[in-house]
Structure formats: structure tokens, C-alpha cells
A and B are shown apart, each in its own frame.
Chain A
């Protein structure tokens, strides 16, 4: 398993454990959301609030497991990577609640990879 795959396995496990995904993101960072809007998250507090809202939304919809498929990762240089995958959000009984395709630009800061841009594929 590559370093980037391990990053996203940890990311998925963190999400499924109801812990904040904020540490996986650089502050500031950009997200392109499913409704086509941009969110610019400028600080660690912004990130914490954003991911708490996201976690609350998933929780209210009974979504508890987040496997992904069709994973691809491309190196864009020594400290940069581009990753695309399809997320599945499952309910406790295993039924599919949501599915979407998302890309991530990651940069290595020191020894740590962080997401600087996430892009939900709108209309894909």
C-alpha cells in the first residue's frame, strides 16, 4: 500500500470513528462542494466547524460506513499528488445512502501530507 493509500485509509477510518477530518487538511484550503459552491477554509477553527457540520449531516442521515472504490493516485512531483475516488456512504444495514466522485490535491508539508483542494465532481 502506498503512502497516499495509507493516508486515505486513515482518513476513512477517522471519519467512520466520528473523529474530525480537519487534521487531514491544510489551513487554509479550498473545497468545491456538491452544489458547485466554493468554501475557502482559512483556519484550523474553520476546518473544525466545517467537518463537524459534515459529520452531523451524515449522522442525521444514518450514514456510518464510507468505503471507496475506483481509487487512482498520480504523483505531480516530489511533494504533490492528485487522487480521485468514488465514495460510498452506507447505512448501518449496509444499504447505500449516497455515492459521489471526489478528487483531492495533496501537498507534503515536512513529513505530513495535507489536502489543499478537494473537488466533488458536480454532475458526474
Chain B
């Protein structure tokens, strides 16, 4: 279970670095290909390649930068293990600006599994208003 929480913390730290550096490439290693993202409006994004992962994360980064976000916090994280090699993590995200004001809050579900290349996110599901 610690392994999955460590993965999420690594992901959080990487996102924070990306928000400040502007290069989304370091995020690619967290995702399986193909990868499914279920958005706030229920729209499904299927990501089939590394370029698409970067494009997907660039869109999110642009939104965060528009909000002047500089820090990411995970406010509580639940891990539901699905056997020994897979889990679903529930993360409550809070994004803050440099002055400490809250820009965005939401809940995200991540289905992840252990692969030969390490843990990877297979499906992420955004839960609005959580």
C-alpha cells in the first residue's frame, strides 16, 4: 500500500515541478499507454501514445497556469488494493496560488497497476464538486 501512496506523492511532486517549469514531459512516465481519462463532464479521452500524453497534460497545465497555480496538495488519499499488483487510489487534490489562495479542488480516482516498467495509471476518473 505504501508503494501506491509513494507513487501518488511522486506524481504530486512532479506536477508541482511541471507547473513551475512548464515542461510536461516528466509526467509521461506515470501513464500506461493506452490510458483512459474520464473528465468532469463524463467525456472520455483515450490516450494512445506518448505525444498524446504530453498533449493531454499540456492542456491541463495551460488551465493551471491560467489560474496562476504553483502548488499541489493531496488532502487525504485512500488506497483500495485490487490484489497484489493493482489498486485504485482516491486523491483529494487542492491547487494553490503562490499567495496561498485555493484555485481548484477536486477528487480524482486513479486505477493503477504494476507493469514491467513500474506502476502506471491505466484509468483516471475526475469527480466534480468533491
Contact = CB atoms under 8 A, between A and B. Distances in A.
Interface of A: 28, 30, 32, 36, 38, 40, 76-80, 82, 84, 101, 103, 105, 107-109, 116-117, 119-124
Interface of B: 32, 34, 36, 38, 40, 42, 44, 46, 82-86, 88, 109, 111, 113-115, 122-123, 125-128
A107 B44 contact: yes
Given A76-B127, A105-B123, A123-B84, A38 B42 contact: no
Contacts of A117: 36, 111, 122-123
A121 B82 contact: yes
Contacts of B46: 28
B125 A32 contact: no
A76 B125 contact: yes
Nearest to A77: B127
B20 to A, nearest CB: 29
Nearest to B36: A116
B38 A36 contact: no
B38 A32 contact: no
A79 B85 contact: no
Contacts of B44: 107, 109, 116
Interface of A is mostly: strand
B42 A32 contact: no
Contacts of B109: 76, 80, 82
A122 B84 contact: yes
A74 B12 CA distance: 25
A78 B126 CA distance: 10
A40 B115 CA distance: 13
A119 B81 CA distance: 11
A122 B38 contact: no
Contact of B86 (A40, A77, A116, A122): A122
A29 B36 CA distance: 9
A28 B86 contact: no
A28 B49 CA distance: 14
Contacts of B111: 105, 117, 119
Given A38-B113, A76-B109, A79-B38, A116 B123 contact: yes
